[in-house]
Structure 1
Amino acid sequence: MGCATVSPVPACGARERGAVVLWLLLASSLFVCNSAILVDSAESHSTFTCEPIGLRMCQNLPYNITFMPNLLEHYDQQTAALAMEPFHPMVKLQCSPALRPFLCSLYAPVCAEYGRVALPCRALCTHSRRDCQKLMDMFGVSWPEEMDCNRFPDCDEPYPRAEDLLTNTNTTDHSTKAVQRDYGFWCPRELKVDPELGYSFLGVRDCSPPCPNMYFRREELTFARYFIGVVSIVCLSATLFTFLTFLIDVTRFRYPERPIIFYAVCYMMVSLVFFLGFLLEDGVACNAASPAQFKASTITQGSHNKACTLLFMTLYFFTMAGSVWWVVLTITWFLAAVPKWGSEAIEKKALLFHASAWGVPGVLTVALLAMNKIEGDNISGVCFVGLYDVHTLRWFLLAPLCMDVLLGVALLLAGIMALNRVRMEIPLEKENQDKLVKFMIRIGVFSILYLVPLLTVVGCYLYEQAYRSVWETTWVQERCREYHIPCPYQVEQASRPDLVLFLMKYLMVLVVGIPSVFWVGSKKTCFEWASFFHGRRRKESTPLSPFILHAV
C-alpha cells in the first residue's frame, strides 16, 4: 500500500469513515508506508490523535485539525509555536505566498487518517526559501537543517499548489522592495509578556522594556544605584531633622512659614522611597526572567505588582504634593507681604491650603492608577511614571511642575517687591528694619535653593522627552540583529543618553528637599535641641520618690 498526499479538504463518505474505523481497530499495528520519502515521518507518528490547530499562524487554513508530534518531532503545539516564532516577521510581511502553507504543513500537518502522513512538496520549500532569503538575512534567521528542501518529495501536485500561489506574482521583486522600507518596531520574543498584563513598549502591546536598563551597562547602573542611595540618605537626614525640629516646638513655626514643614515631610517621604529602591535593587522594578520560556527580565508595568504600585503612589503623590506646598508657601508670603495679612488671618485658610496640597496630587495619582501608567525604574529601583511613555511624562510631570514653578515665581516676586517697598517707603526702627531685611534674604536664599534644582529637573525632563525617540531608535538599531527583529531603515540621527543626565535628574529631585534645613538652621534651633537633650537627661536623672521606691 503506498502513501498518497492528502488533499487540503478531505471528503469522506460513510463507507470511507467505516473503513477508517475498521482500519483503526484491526490494522493499526500493521500499517507500514512503503514510500521512501515518508518512512521517517510514518514511523514517528505511529500513535497520534487529531487535535484542533491552536497555532496563531496556521488559522483559517483549508483544514483545522492537526496531530502531535508533528513532522519535526515537536510533541505539543506550544513547542511548535516557539519553533515557528522566528518566521513570524516573514509571514506577516508576506515575503512569499508559499511560506505560510509550507510552514504549517510541517509544524501543523493535516490530520485526516491514522498513520497517513504527507510531506510538503519540494517546490513549496524552494519558493519559500528563495523569496524570503533577503528578509531572513535582515532578521538574522537561518534556514533550519531539518527544513532542507532536498528532503521533500518532488511531486506534480504541490500541497497546496505552488502554481496557484505564485500566479502573476513576482515574488523576488516583492521581497526586494519589502526590504527597502521601515517596518517599525517588532517585539522580540524575549520581551513578550502575558497579554492579560496590558503592557506596551514602543507602541507595541504585550511587550515590555528589558531589564537591566536598555541604555547603560551593569557597572554604570551599579554606580548610579549607590549614588542615588547616598543622596537619598542625605536628603532623608535633612528633612527628618526639619520635621523633628518642628515637633520639639510646634508653636515656633506659624503661618506664613508653616508650609515649609509640610514641604519637608513630602520630600522626606520621597527620599525614603528612593532609599527603599536602593535596598530593593531590581526586586520591584523588574519582572524575573524565565529562561525556560525564552523570556528575559523585563520592566514592571501597571498595578499588578503591589509593591511597585505602593512605591509609585508614595513617590508620585509626595513629589507633586511637595511642589504644591511650595506654591502654598509663596501664597502665604504674598498674603503677608501685599495685603498685610497677619498670622491668624492666614491660618484661617489652612483648611483650603491642605485641601489643595493633598487633593490635587491625590487626583493625579488616582488618574494614573486608573490609566495603568505605572512603570518600573531599573536605575533607581523604584516605580514612577513617564519613564517610557512620553505622553504621560509630558502631561503628568512636566505640565504640573511647570505650572507650579510659574505660579510660585510670580507670587514670590510680587511678595519680595512688596516687602522691599515696605522697607523703602515706611520708616521703621533699626531693629525692625534689620529683621525685615534678614527675612527677605532668607526668602531669597530659600527660593534659589529650591528653584535651581527644580528648574534643573524640569530641564532634564524636557531634554529627555525631546530625545527619547532618538535613543529608542538607536537602541533598536544596535539590538535588532541580536533580537532577530527588523532593523530601522535610514536612521537619520543616532544618539545614546549620557548617564550624567540621569544622575543629575535624580540628584536634583532629592536635593530639592534639602533647603528646608536651611530655614530651620539657626541659633534658636540649636538652643531648642540643647534644651531638649538637657531636659531629657535631667528627667532621666531625677531620683525616684520614696513612695515609688517603697512600691518597688
Structure 2
Amino acid sequence: MRFVFLSLLCSFAVAQILPVDPNTTPDVSCELMTNLSFCYGVGYNKSSFPNFRMQTTQVDANTELKQFVILVNSGCSNAIVHYLCSVYAPYCEPKYLKIPPCANLCVYVRDSCAPKLQQFGVAWPPQLACENWPAYGSVCFGPSTSGLANITIPRNPLFNLPNTTSEPVTATGVRPTSSPSAVNASNVCPSDMTIQKKNQYSEYTFGGVSGCAVPCSGNSYYFSAAGTDSSAPAFVLVFAITCLLFTFFTVATYLIDRRRFHYPERPIIFLSGCYLFISIAYIVGAVSKLTHGSFACDSADAFKSGATVGPNNEAAVFQRQPSTSADVYKQASCIILFLLVYYPHMAAAVWWVMLTLTWFLAAFLKWGEEAVERFWVLYHIVAWSVPAIQVVIVLALRLVDGDQLAGLCYVGNQNVVALATLVFLPLLVYLVVGVVFWIIGFVALINIREHLSRDPPKARKLCRLVMRIGVYAACYTLPNAVLLLLLVYEIVQRRKWESAVIQKQDAPLPNFPAFLLKYLMIFTVGIGSTSWIMTQKTFAAWHKFFASCVCRRKVENDYEPSKSQTAV
C-alpha cells in the first residue's frame, strides 16, 4: 500500500512549486471541458485556463489530475473529485470566468484525506491549502457545509468505485447565466484521436468535439469490419478500372464516328466522359492508398506526442481545406483529386438533365434534330458552369475533406451538413428533374408509336428506340436512386456512429458493405452509359476504323520508294 501512495509524491511536489492565486484572472475565457476525463460529472462542463495551478491546457491539467486517482479510489472523501477539479479545472461563468473552490469544501476534503496521506509520510501540499480559497457565501464553487455530505464521487471509468452517481454542485455568490450541466463522456475526445497541435488543427472536429480526428489508418475506428484499410481501396480499384474501360470505349466510339451522334443522344457521350475522369481519380487514390500512403491523409504530424496508431501514426484524415498557401501546396494532390471527382460527378448529373431535356424537346414538343441542336452552346454553358459554381462554393467554404476508404478527397466525408447540402441535395434535384423530363418524353414516344401502327417499319424502328431509351434510363436512374438512399443512410446515422466511436460503445457502427455499395453505384452509372452505343453500328464503325488503319499502313508500304529508286 505504501508503494501505491508514493506515486502521489510527485504530484504534491509539483504542487508546492507552482503558485496559486485565486484573485489573479489573466486573459481567459470559458471553454468546453473536452479533454478533462478526470472531471466527468462534477456538475459543470465549462472551465477556464490558465487554472489555479497556472497550467494553460486541459491536457496538462488532466495529466496531473490522473495522479490523484489512487487517492480517489481510497475513498477518503466523497468530495475530493469536486475539490480537485475546482482547482485544476475551475468552474467558469462568462461574468466571473475563473471561480475558485469554497474554503469549506477544501477543509472538508483535507480533514478526510490528510490523515490518509500522513499514514505514509505525505503532508497535505501547501499550495492546496484551504487558506487560499474564499469562504462560503462569496463567489466560490461548492455547497454549504450541511450539503457537503450529499456529494458523491461522479460515475467515471477512471475510478474503481462502483455504484457512484453524479450529484450537481453549484457555485455560491454567482447568478449563473446557465445552470451547470454534468459533463458527458460524449464531449471528450479519446486520447488516441486527440489532436496535439491545437493551433494548426483547431478546426478539426469529430462527433461535435473540437480537436478530435480519425487517424489515417483509422478505418478500424469507424467500421466494425476488419481489413478495411486494404479491402476497400482494392474493391474501388477493380471497379474503377472497369468503369474506365467502358467509358473510354464510349468516348472513343464517339471520336471515330462523330457524325453518328447528334442531339438528343450526344449528352450521353459527355456524361460518359465525366465518369471517365471520375474513374481515373479513384484509380489514383486507390493505388496510392495501397502502395505508399493515402491522399486523404493530412501530411503534417497532427498526432505527434499522442498515441501511435498505424503506419501513418502522425497524420489525421484530412478534414478542412488548408487556409494558408503553404498548407495548400502540401495538400494540392488532395484538392486536385477532389476536383477530378466532384466536378465531373456534378457535371454528369447536369448532363443527365440536358439529355432528358433534349428528349423532351424532340418527343413532346416535336422539335426537329436541327432545332434541338441549335442550342448546343447553351447546353454546354449550363452543364459546365453550374457544377463550377458548386466547386467554388465548396472551396470558398473550405469543405474539402478526406475519404479514408477510397484514399482521395471529396466533400461531406467528415461534415454531414456539407454531405446533405452539397452532394445529396444537388444529385436529388438533378435526378428528379431529369426523370420528369424523361417520363414526359417517354409517354410522348409511346403515343407516337401508336399513331405509326399502320406503318410497321417505322413502328419497329421507334419501338427499338423506346426500348433503348428505357434501358439507358434504368441504367442511370436505378444506381443513382440507390446512391441517394445510401447517402440518406449516412446522413441520418453519422452522428450516432461518431458518438459510438468517441464513447467506445458497442453501438452499431457503419455498415462497411453499404459504403462499398456506394462506390459500386457510382461506377455502375459510368458502366451503364455504354449500353446506349452497344449496337451493330458501333461494331461496324470500329471494323471500319481498324480496316482503314490497316489499309492506310498497307498503302504507305506499297508507295514507299525503294533504296534503288531513291538513289536514281
- Fold conserved between structures, TM > 0.5: yes
Counterpart residue identity of residue 84, structure 1: A
How many Å separate the matches in 1 of 2:189 and 2:499? 13
> Paired residue for 1:195?
199
- Aligned twin of 1:546: 561
SS in structure 2 of the partner of residue 287 of structure 1? coil
Q: One-letter code of the match for 2:132?
A: R
Q: Which amino acid aligns with 1:294?
A: G
Equivalent residues in 2 for 1:169-318, closer than 5 Å: 170=147, 173=151, 175=154, 176-177=166-167, 182=184, 184-189=186-191, 190-192=193-195, 193-197=197-201, 198-211=203-216, 212-213=218-219, 214-216=221-223, 217=225, 219-281=227-289, 282-287=293-298, 292-294=304-306, 296=313, 297-304=315-322, 305-318=331-344
How far 1:524 sits from its partner (Å)? 1.5
1:427 Cα deviation from its structure 2 partner: 5.2
Range moving further from structure 2, 168-177 or 369-378: 168-177
Structure-2 residue corresponding to 1:84: 61
- Cα distance per residue 1:199-246 (max 9 Å; x no partner): 222223333233322322551332222111101110111001100111
- Percent identity between matched residues is 29
Q: Distance in 2 between matches of 1:149 and 1:369?
A: 62
The verdict on how the C-alpha distance between 1:348 and 1:41 changes in structure 2, with shifts beyond 3 A counting, is closer
TM-fit CA distance, 1:258:
0.5
Superposition deviation, residue 453 in structure 1: 0.5
Give the 3 Å change call, closer, same or farther, for CA 156–102 of structure 1 in structure 2.
closer
Counterpart AA for 1:287: D
Matched, 1:536 2:536: no
Matches within 5 A, 1:140-159: 151-153=122-124, 158=129
- Contact conserved, 1:191 with 1:210, CA < 8 A, in 2? no
* Structure-1 separation of matches of 2:364 and 2:430: 20
- Secondary structure, aligned partner of 2:526: coil
The whole-number CA distance in structure 2 between the counterparts of 1:149 and 1:125 is: 20
Cα deviation per residue 1:107-136 (whole Å; 9 max; x = unaligned)? Answer: xxxxxxxxxxxxxxxx969949999xxxxx
- Report whether the alignment pairs 1:418 with 2:444: yes
Number of aligned residues: 452
SS across alignment from 1:406: helix
CA distance in 1 between partners of 2:533 and 2:80 (Å): 70
Structure 1 stretches lacking a partner, 5+ long? 1-36, 46-52, 65-76, 105-122, 132-144, 480-492
Contact 2:207–2:499 (8 Å) recurs in 1: no
Contact 2:186 2:502 in 1 (8 A): no
1:540 Cα deviation from its structure 2 partner: 2.3
Q: Would you say the 8 A contact 2:364–2:441 is kept in 1?
A: yes
- Give the deviation of 1:537 after TM superposition: 2.2
Q: CA deviation at 1:58?
A: 8.3
Deviation (angstroms), 1:361: 0.9
With 213-222 and 402-411 compared, the bigger mean Cα shift is at 213-222
Counterparts of residues 54-65 of structure 1 (less than 5 Å): 59=49
RMSD: 4.2
Give the secondary structure class of the aligned counterpart of 1:515: helix
What's the secondary structure of 1:388's corresponding residue? coil
Question: Is this contact kept in 2: 1:96–1:127, CA < 8 A?
Answer: no
Q: Which amino acid aligns with 1:96?
A: H
1:151, 1:447 → 2: CA distance?
80
User: Partner of 1:115 in structure 2?
Assistant: none
On the 8 A contact 2:243/2:527 being kept in 1, the answer is yes
Letter in 2 for 1:298: A
- Paired residue for 1:361? 387
Question: Which consecutive unaligned segments of at least 5 residues does structure 2 have?
Answer: 1-9, 19-25, 30-46, 69-78, 91-104, 155-165, 169-180, 308-312, 323-330
Change (3 A) 1:374 1:292: closer
SS at match of 1:273: helix
> Is the CA contact (8 Å cut-off) linking 1:368 and 1:374 kept in structure 2?
yes
- 1:240-288, Cα deviation, whole Å (9 max, x unpaired): 1100111101111111100000000111111111111111114211235
CA distance in 2, matches of 1:478, 1:274: 31
Residue 181 of structure 1 and its aligned partner are, at CA, apart by 6.4
Tell which structure's C-alpha radius of gyration is larger.
1
Query: Amino acid of the residue matched to residue 521 of structure 1?
Result: M
Q: How far 1:367 sits from its partner (Å)?
A: 0.5
- Establish whether residue 516 from structure 1 lines up as the match of residue 529 from structure 2: yes
